[in-house]
Structure 1
Amino acid sequence: MKTGTAALMSRWTTWVPVTSVIALALAWGRELPGFAVAVIGLCLIGSVLAAVYHAEVVAHRVGEPFGSLLLAVAVTIIEVGLIITLMISGGDKASTYARDTVFAAVMITCNGIVGLSVLVGALRNRIAVFNAEGSGAALATVCTLTTMTLVLPTFTTSQPGPEFTGDQLAFAAVASICLYGLFVGVQTFRHREYFQPVEREGQETEAEEEPRPTVPESWWSLGLLLVALVAVVGNAKLVSPSIEGGVAAAELPKSVVGVVIALLVLLPETLAAVRAARRDRVQTSLNLAYGSAIASIGLTIPAIALATIWLPGPLVLGEDATHMVLLVLTAVVGALTVVPGRATLLQGGVHLALFAAFVFLSFSP
Structure 2
Amino acid sequence: MAVHRLPISQYLFPIGSLGLAAVIYFGATSIEHSPLSIKILALVAVAVFIFATVFVVLHHAETAALRLGEPFGTLLLTFSVTAIEASVIVSMMLHGENNPTLARESVFSTVMIVCTGVVGVCLTLGGLKHRYQDIKRQGTNASLTVLMALTVLTLILPNYTLATGPGTFSALQLAFVSILSILLYSAFIFAQTVRHRGDFIEDLASGAENGEHAPEGGKATVNVLLLLVGLAGIVLLTEQVAGSIEDGLEFLQVPQADAIVGFFVAALVLMPEAVSAVRAALNNELQRGLNVALGSACATIGLTIPAIGAASLVTGRSLILGLGSGDTVLLILALAISIVSFGTGRTTMLTGLVHLVVFVAYLFLIVVP
> TM-score surpassing 0.5?
yes
Amino acid at match of 2:227: L
Match for residue 347 of structure 1 among 326, 347, 351:
351
Match of 2:16 in 1: 19
Q: Name the CA distance, whole Å, in 2 between partners of 1:83 and 1:214.
A: 38
Aligned residue pair count: 358
Instruction: Give the aligned partner of residue 219 of structure 2.
Output: 217
Q: Structure 1: which 5+ runs fail to align? A: none
The TM-score with structure 2 as length reference comes to: 0.92
CA distance in 1, matches of 2:108, 2:314: 23
- Shift of the 131–299 alpha-carbon distance from structure 1 to 2, 3 Å rule, reads same
Shift of 1:329: 0.7
Contact 1:198 1:283 in 2 (8 A): no
2:323 aligned partner, one-letter code: E
Change (3 A) 1:337 1:86: same
> Residues 165 and 334 of structure 1: is their aligned pair in 2 closer, same or farther, counting only changes over 3 Å?
same
Deviation at 1:103, TM superposition (A): 0.7
- Correspondence for 1:251 among 250, 254, 257: 254
Give the match for residue 308 of structure 1.
312
Shift of 1:139: 0.7
Runs (5+) with no aligned partner, structure 2: 33-38
TM-score, with length taken from structure 1: 0.93
Q: Would you say the 8 A contact 1:99–1:150 is kept in 2?
A: yes
Determine if contact 2:14/2:230 at 8 Å carries over to the other structure: yes
The one-letter code matched in structure 1 to 2:100 is: S
Counterparts of 1:152 and 1:345 in 2: how far apart (Å)?
34
Structure 1 residue 127 corresponds to structure 2 residue 132: yes
Partner of 1:319: 323
Distance, in Å, in 1 between the alignment partners of 2:75 and 2:353 is: 26
Q: Quick one: which amino acid aligns to residue 213 of structure 1?
A: P
Mapped pair 1:364 → 2:361: no
Percentage identity across aligned positions? 37
- Matched residue, 1:108: 113
Partner Cα separation in structure 2 for residue 129 and residue 307 of structure 1 = 42
Alignment of 1:1-365 (within 5 A): 3-4=3-4, 7-8=5-6, 10-28=7-25, 30-32=30-32, 33-92=39-98, 94-199=99-204, 205=207, 209-213=211-215, 216-248=218-250, 249=252, 251-254=254-257, 255-365=259-369
- Aligned letter for 2:17? S
What CA distance in whole angstroms lies between the structure 2 residues aligned with 1:72 and 1:179?
A: 16
Shift in Å, 1:238: 1.4
Deviation at 1:324, TM superposition (A): 0.8
Q: Is the 8 A contact 1:88 1:312 kept in 2?
A: no
CA shift, 1:336, in A, is 0.7
Distance 1:207 1:264 in 2: 32
What is the alpha-carbon distance in structure 1 between the residues aligned to residue 178 and residue 189 of structure 2?
17
Question: In structure 2, what is the Cα distance between the partners aligned to 1:242 and 1:305?
Answer: 24
For 1:41, give the aligned amino acid: A
Residue aligning to 2:36: none
Q: 1:70 to 1:207 in 2, by over 3 A?
A: farther
Letter of the 1:343 counterpart? T
Give 1:21 deviation, angstroms.
1.3
Distance change >3 Å, CA 360–CA 3, structure 1 → 2: farther
Task: Compute the displacement of 1:160 (Å).
Answer: 1.5
RMSD: 1.9
Where 2:86 maps in the other structure, the secondary structure is helix
Deviations 1:217-240 (A, max 9, x none): 311111111112112222111111
- The change in CA–CA distance for 1:355 and 1:2 in structure 2 (over 3 A counts) is farther
* 1-structure distance, mates of 2:367, 2:80: 29
Query: Aligned in 2, Cα 1:218/1:319: closer, same or farther, shift over 3 Å?
Result: same
In 2, the alpha carbon distance for the partners of 1:65 and 1:231 equals: 25
C-alpha change, 1:250 and 1:88, in structure 2 (3 Å) is: closer
Contact 2:116 2:358 in 1 (8 A): yes
Deviation string for 1:41-66 (max 9, x for gaps)?
11101111111111110111122211
2: CA distance, partners of 1:79 / 1:288: 15
For residues 268 and 339 of structure 1, what CA distance do their matches in structure 2 show? 27
Deviation of the 1:207 alpha carbon: 6.7
Q: Quick one: which amino acid aligns to residue 142 of structure 2?
A: A
Distance 1:352 1:246, change over 3 A: farther
| C-alpha distance in structure 2 between counterparts of 1:303 and 1:165, whole Å | 16
Deviating 4+ runs (over 6 angstroms): none
Cα deviations across residues 101-155 of structure 1 (Å, max 9, x unaligned)?
1111111111111111111221221012211110111011101100000100011
Task: Letter of the 1:62 partner, please give it.
Answer: L
| 1:207 to 1:293, Cα distance in 2 relative to 1, 3 A | farther
